[in-house]
Amino acid sequence: MKRNNTTSNNIYTLLLGMLALVPATVLAAPTGQALSFTCAGCHGTDGSSVGPSMPAIAGMDPEVFVDAMKAYRDDQRNPTIMNRMAKAYSDKQFKDMAWFFAGQRLHLFPQEHDAAMAARGAELHKKYCEKCHENGGRPGDAGTLAGQWMPYLEYTMDDFLNGKRKWPRKMRRKVDAAIADEGQEAVPAIIHYYGSQQ
């Protein structure tokens, strides 16, 4: 009889232990990929945006992603839907999403551009932008410019130029120098260059 009580107690303890693990399994934190599904409507299922006003974020440097999300959450970037979206996530979730998108291959889509302006923009990029936006603006720690949608680049530059968005370090000096040397066509030329990159 004593042996049966011990066996029953052991089984009871084992079942309680298993039940205790169920909530932990059910409440396990979502992965970066699962969290990224909320981004898919605007930025594409893998971070390669198909909408011209939304940036592609596939292959994005994780630190750039996290910094951007924190800036949106803290209302340090001009208000968009992103300010509201970012408020729903923790720093850990930002990091999980960042690493998911960093591992995605960027798919670029052809877009119409002016070849002459793009050629001039290539020269301006080399002179003013290449030091930070290496490899023609390919994904890196200064963000992705190459192949990015041109309307998105236009809106973003407009935000910088009109004081709606804080300039990254050195960027304002470089943009001002390009405009001083080349006039108001400098920024559109650079945008056409980035838009031409595939």
Q: Are residues 119 and 92 in the same domain?
A: no
Q: Are residues 124 and 58 in the same domain?
A: no
List residues bridging with 165 in a β-sheet: 77
- CA dihedral (43, 152, 57, 132) in degrees, to 10, reads 180
pLDDT at residue 110 tops 50: yes
- What is the CA 3 to chain-centroid distance, rounded? 62
Query: Which pTM value belongs to this model?
Result: 0.80
Measured CA to CA, the distance from residue 21 to residue 48 in angstroms comes to 38
Q: So what's the pLDDT on residue 139?
A: 83
pLDDT at residue 171 tops 60: yes
Q: Are residues 176 and 131 in the same domain?
A: yes
128 close to 176: Cβ distance less than 8 angstroms: no
The residue type found at 98 is A
Q: Write the pLDDT tens digit of every residue in 176-191.
A: 999 999 999 999 999 9
Q: Write the pLDDT tens digit of every residue in 7-64.
A: 666 666 655 565 555 554 445 788 989 998 999 999 998 999 988 989 999 999 999 9
pLDDT at residue 69 tops 90: yes
Measured CA to CA, the distance from residue 104 to residue 35 in angstroms comes to 14
CATH for 81: 1.10.760.10
Q: Are residues 119 and 98 in the same domain?
A: no
In the predicted model, what is the mean pLDDT of the chain? Answer: 88
- 11 inside domain: no
- 25 inside domain: no
Residue that finishes a domain, picked among 68, 102, 136: 102
Q: Are residues 63 and 93 in the same domain?
A: yes
Q: Are residues 150 and 188 in the same domain?
A: yes
Residue 59 host element (H or E): none
Number of domain units in the chain? 2
Q: Are residues 161 and 93 in the same domain?
A: no
- 83 inside domain: yes
Residue that finishes a domain, picked among 102, 123, 152: 102
Q: Are residues 90 and 144 in the same domain?
A: no
Q: Are residues 79 and 136 in the same domain?
A: no
Listed residue (164, 162, 171) closest to 142, CA to CA: 171
* Contacts for 116 with CB less than 8 Å, ≥ 6 apart: none
- 135 inside domain: yes
Distances in whole angstroms, Cα of residue 188 to Cα of each of 23, 93, 166, 191: 55, 36, 20, 5
Most trustworthy range by pLDDT among 5-14, 106-115, 136-145: 106-115
Q: Are residues 191 and 121 in the same domain?
A: yes
- 4 inside domain: no
- 54 inside domain: yes
Q: Residue 53 belongs to what domain range? A: 32-102
Rounded to 5°, the CA angle 77-80-81 comes to: 130
pLDDT at residue 1 tops 60: no
Residue that finishes a domain, picked among 102, 135, 160: 102
